[in-house]
């Protein structure tokens, strides 16, 4: 057996010789130089990740050579302005931890018609304060149901309904010029069944033979189905779909989304090429879709397997070599212990924070902050080179992914509590202000998730006067707890549920469309009128964005819990003790008081940054329903 060090040396030599022999390596001597420097620095990491996955194969060295050729080609094609950005980002690796960072997400067609329309919205994005814009999937996908574009038929073509590749590149440059980073998805767990690899695989093209998990009969699917979770039980039972020719294919999500087989190194190389092409469009954050599912092993749940991490870290090492300005954002909507495993400087530098998201809604329903306070104290702080993406709503459902082990410590039983939350949010609980819709209600397991816009889940729809304050409260935590806040565009003007998806056969079976409304111009038109609902929400959010961006204590992700002495009031400190801002947030629809005793270590008076008014602390603090205070305790 060769040692890893020896193997590294061999592989490196092999690859270097192969690449150096290529004519264009000479022609692009300058490109080669920068590439070689980064290759030198990151190749050992790349190899250490790839060796356990594919190192036992006889063709391992050939695989490495073709992978690195792919990487070099991508680097060579990388536009000069992006190569300059690479250098800039490498010098300042924590740039995205700034308190000035603010994310937004939208569908191109629903928000602005097409890519050119998105470009016309740049002044609005700047007005809102965005520095990060996630455009929902925009590549070629099947007509009809494409899971909102999450079934990709080509990673090299923009969906013609949205525009062209040139439009996308122009938009990326225009955004970057205004200080807004483009965020795109890397949908790498699966392709659509119309992707050339999929059609080639089914037709028996040897090049694509093992690109997917195809089975001649039910033997293996039945064996796997013993242990895998059903993600979209409404669409098909188990994890597999049958082809017209009788064979079965692995489809974790919809039957037209075919899982890629990463145990085949050719899949890794092919997807690496697509990933780097997406990077070269000007993508600064790559949303790593459905990370949990990319590796399968019989007899396991086929989620969060160690190899899934290895695959992502290998992609990450390649990015450090060929497109280092780009960072990864993990989308793992799983148990909190598993969510954090994707987050590290070497894997995903950012991650959705599904626990905070779910517990915000939990606290709103229960008027108790217990679980959220516990999560902030025990599960929030990350490696300082990484950060959370804190969000209130996404295009997906709300799943109650808190840990049962955490909940039971507070006397909360997971299963019945989730059932309560589901009833509350679909308005099957007396006195609920929410108007949500069930998603993937699974009577076999009792599992169910929730669809609905922030506005509809907080009571905007039925004219509840407290609803705008609820939306602002939820966003206040996303904005102040540390990490990158992300606004689902439409939320900032209180856009309600849109039931028109029910008339579209391609969407009717998927209730998530209820909370993916098209941009409602009339709501945006009211955003500056503070007596209107859109105006109240917009004004509240804008105020917080301004205050946050002006105060460096909100940078980075670190927080310290603060027990506010009232079950409805969330508390935490941002910044160094003694130089901190104390955040208090009342999750109740009634006024609440925090007792004097909890403030004994705080200054006698602090200015609330949001209202600009001083607050005396030593006699206790009273908060109006849903009131949020950002108390500046920094020594003057």
- Give catalytic residues, as residue numbers: 289, 331
- 488, 454 Cβ separation under 8 angstroms: yes
- What is the rounded distance in angstroms from the CA atom of residue 41 to the CA atom of residue 558? 30
CB of 146 to ligand GLC, least distance (A): 10
Sign of the dihedral defined by the CA atoms of residues 491, 494, 495, 496, in that order: positive
- What is the rounded distance in angstroms from the CA atom of residue 576 to the CA atom of residue 247? 60
- Mask for 131-160, x = binds ligand GLC (CB under 6 A): ----------------xx-x----------
Q: Which of positions 307-336 make contact with ligand GLC (CB under 6 A)?
A: 331, 333
Q: Which of 49, 397, 492, 608 binds ligand GLC (CB under 6 A)?
A: 397
Give the nearer residue to ligand GLC in terms of CB position, either 331 or 608. 331
Q: Which stretch binds ligand GLC (CB under 6 A): 161-169, 390-398, 415-423, 483-491?
A: 390-398
Q: Which of 274, 396, 406, 632 binds ligand GLC (CB under 6 A)?
A: 396
Q: Which stretch binds ligand GLC (CB under 6 A): 394-402, 539-547, 569-577, 592-600?
A: 394-402
CB of 333 to ligand GLC, least distance (A): 4
Give the residue carrying structure tokens 């945006």: 524
Give the nearer residue to ligand GLC in terms of CB position, either 396 or 608. 396
Two tokens, residue 104: 């937004």
Q: Which of 115, 130, 290, 631 binds ligand GLC (CB under 6 A)?
A: 290
Residues belonging to the chain? 636
Q: Which of 399, 490, 517, 557 binds ligand GLC (CB under 6 A)?
A: 399
- What is the rounded distance in angstroms from the CA atom of residue 615 to the CA atom of residue 629? 9
Position with the least CB separation from ligand GLC: 150
- 551, 99 Cβ separation under 8 angstroms: yes
CB of 395 to ligand GLC, least distance (A): 6
- 584, 564 Cβ separation under 8 angstroms: yes
Q: Which stretch binds ligand GLC (CB under 6 A): 80-88, 164-172, 321-329, 391-399?
A: 391-399
The terminus-to-terminus CA distance of the chain in angstroms comes to: 65
CB of 484 to ligand GLC, least distance (A): 17
CB of 450 to ligand GLC, least distance (A): 11
Pairing label, strands 614-616, 581-586: unpaired
474 binds ligand GLC (CB under 6 A): no
Two tokens, residue 378: 């025990």
**Which among 146, 122, 128 has a CA at the least distance from the CA of 136?**
146
Give the nearer residue to ligand GLC in terms of CB position, either 451 or 549. 451
C-alpha distances in Å from residue 185, one per residue of 143, 182, 290? 19, 10, 10
DSSP H helices in 264-304: 265-280
Total residues interacting with ligand GLC, rule: CB under 6 A = 14
Give the nearer residue to ligand GLC in terms of CB position, either 252 or 495. 252
Q: Which of positions 212-231 make contact with ligand GLC (CB under 6 A)?
A: 231
Give the nearer residue to ligand GLC in terms of CB position, either 35 or 391. 391
| DSSP labels, 214-253 | EESSSHHHHHHHTTPPPS-TTT-STTEEE-TTS-EEE-SS
Q: Which of positions 244-263 make contact with ligand GLC (CB under 6 A)?
A: 253
CB of 387 to ligand GLC, least distance (A): 19
Q: Is 420 exposed, middle or buried (0-12, 13-18, 19+ CB in 10 A)?
A: middle
- Mask for 15-54, x = binds ligand GLC (CB under 6 A): ----------------------------------------
- What is the rounded distance in angstroms from the CA atom of residue 24 to the CA atom of residue 290? 37
- 46, 265 Cβ separation under 8 angstroms: no
105 binds ligand GLC (CB under 6 A): no
- What is the rounded distance in angstroms from the CA atom of residue 38 to the CA atom of residue 109? 38
Q: Which of positions 177-196 make contact with ligand GLC (CB under 6 A)?
A: 187
488 binds ligand GLC (CB under 6 A): no
- What is the rounded distance in angstroms from the CA atom of residue 511 to the CA atom of residue 30? 52
Q: Which residues of the shown chain bind ligand GLC in the complex (CB under 6 A)? A: 147-148, 150, 187, 231, 253, 289-290, 331, 333, 395-397, 399
């Amino acid at each position: 057996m060769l040692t890893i060090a020896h193997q590294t040396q061999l592989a490196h030599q092999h690859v270097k010789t192969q690449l150096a022999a290529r004519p264009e390596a000479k022609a692009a001597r300058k490109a080669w130089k920068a590439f070689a420097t980064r290759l030198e620095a990151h190749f050992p990491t790349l190899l250490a990740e790839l060796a356990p996955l594919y190192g036992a194969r006889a063709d391992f060295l050939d695989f490495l050579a073709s992978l690195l050729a792919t990487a070099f080609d991508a680097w060579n094609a990388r536009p000069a302005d992006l190569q300059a950005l690479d250098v800039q980002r490498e010098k300042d690796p924590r740039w995205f931890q700034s308190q000035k960072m603010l994310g937004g997400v939208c569908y191109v067609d629903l928000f602005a018609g097409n890519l050119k329309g998105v470009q016309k919205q740049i002044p609005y994005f700047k007005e809102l304060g965005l520095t990060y814009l996630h455009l929902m999937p925009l590549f070629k996908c099947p007509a009809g149901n494409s899971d909102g574009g999450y079934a990709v038929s080509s990673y090299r073509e923009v969906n013609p309904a949205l525009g062209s590749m040139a439009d996308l590149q122009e938009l990326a440059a225009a955004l970057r010029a205004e200080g807004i980073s483009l965020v795109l998805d890397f949908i790498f767990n699966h392709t659509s069944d119309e992707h050339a690899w999929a059609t080639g695989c089914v037709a028996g093209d040897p090049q694509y033979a093992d690109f997917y998990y195809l089975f001649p009969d039910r033997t293996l699917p039945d064996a796997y189905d013993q242990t895998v979770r059903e993600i979209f039980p409404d669409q098909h039972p188990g994890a597999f779909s049958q082809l017209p020719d009788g064979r079965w294919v692995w489809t974790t999500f919809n039957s037209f989304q075919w899982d890629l087989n990463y145990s085949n190194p050719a899949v890794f190389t092919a997807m690496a090429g697509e990933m780097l092409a997406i990077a070269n469009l000007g993508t600064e954050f790559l949303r790593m879709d459905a990370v949990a599912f990319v590796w399968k092993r019989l007899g396991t749940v086929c989620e969060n397997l160690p190899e899934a991490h290895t695959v992502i870290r290998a992609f990450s090492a390649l990015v450090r070599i060929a497109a280092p300005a780009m960072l990864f954002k993990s989308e793992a909507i799983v148990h909190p212990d598993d969510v954090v495993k994707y987050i590290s400087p070497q894997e995903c530098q950012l991650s959705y924070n599904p626990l905070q998201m779910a517990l915000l809604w939990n606290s709103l329903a229960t008027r108790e902050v217990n679980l959220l306070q516990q999560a902030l104290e025990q599960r929030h702080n990350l490696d300082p080179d990484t950060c959370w993406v804190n969000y209130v709503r996404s295009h997906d459902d709300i799943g109650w992914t808190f840990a049962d082990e955490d909940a039971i410590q507070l006397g909360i039983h997971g299963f019945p509590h989730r059932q309560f939350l589901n009833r509350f949010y679909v308005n099957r609980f007396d006195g609920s202000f929410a108007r949500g819709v069930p998603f993937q209600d699974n009577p076999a397991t009792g599992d169910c998730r929730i669809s609905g816009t922030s506005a509809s889940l907080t009571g905007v729809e039925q004219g509840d006067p407290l609803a705008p304050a609820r939306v602002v409260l939820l966003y206040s935590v996303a904005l102040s707890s540390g990490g990158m806040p992300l606004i689902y565009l439409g939320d900032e003007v209180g856009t309600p549920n849109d039931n028109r998806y029910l008339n579209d056969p391609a969407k009717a079976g998927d209730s998530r469309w209820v909370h993916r409304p098209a941009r409602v111009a009339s709501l945006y038109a009211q955003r500056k009128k503070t007596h209107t609902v859109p105006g109240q929400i917009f004004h509240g959010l804008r105020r917080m964005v301004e205050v946050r961006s002006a105060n460096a204590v909100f940078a980075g992700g670190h927080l310290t819990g603060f027990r506010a002495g009232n079950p409805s009031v969330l508390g935490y400190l941002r910044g160094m003790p003694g130089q901190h801002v104390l955040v208090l947030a009342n999750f109740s629809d009634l006024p609440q008081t925090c007792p004097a005793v909890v403030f004994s270590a705080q200054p006698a008076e602090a200015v609330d940054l949001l209202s600009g008014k001083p607050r005396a602390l030593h006699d206790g603090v009273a908060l109006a329903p849903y009131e949020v205070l950002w108390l500046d305790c920094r020594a003057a």
